[in-house]
Amino acid sequence: MSDSVIPIVSGVCLGGTFVLSTAAYSLRNFSRSRLQQVCRERQNPQRFGAILKLDEEALLACELLLAVCYTVAVAGLVIWATPQDGFETTSAAVRALVILLGVLFGLI
């Protein structure tokens, strides 16, 4: 891969992790009692069970995609930050250090 493609792919995957983590959080923490109340008000109580079943599948898919995006983003950033000739330049060492610290502290 070209040097200009790796940061773009990593950035897209990193952006995907933000979206997917928000979606997973929402799917994990939505109000089931409020959903049940809405289903009763609309006289469609069987819809409640169907939504809950789909919710579990959507949450699993979200979490799996989140793991894939996170792995691709971190791997791409590490590959991008590691120069071909070792750490001859200061900027390459700084990039690798920033990515390593970001991964260690959970920022990436």
Q: What pLDDT sits at residue 62?
A: 92
Residue 26 has pLDDT above 60, yes or no: yes
Handedness of CA 50, 54, 56, 57 (dihedral sign): positive
On the question of pLDDT at 1 being above 60, the answer is no
Look over the chain and give the mean of its residue pLDDT values, rounded to a whole number. Answer: 80
The residue that leads in pLDDT, 87 or 57, is: 57
Distance CA 56, CA 49 (A): 11
Q: How far apart are CA 67 and CA 89, in angstroms?
A: 32
How far, in Å, CA of 62 to CA of 67, rounded? 9
Q: Is a pLDDT exceeding 70 seen at residue 38?
A: yes
pTM for the model? 0.66
Going from N- to C-terminal start, the domains of the chain cover 5-104
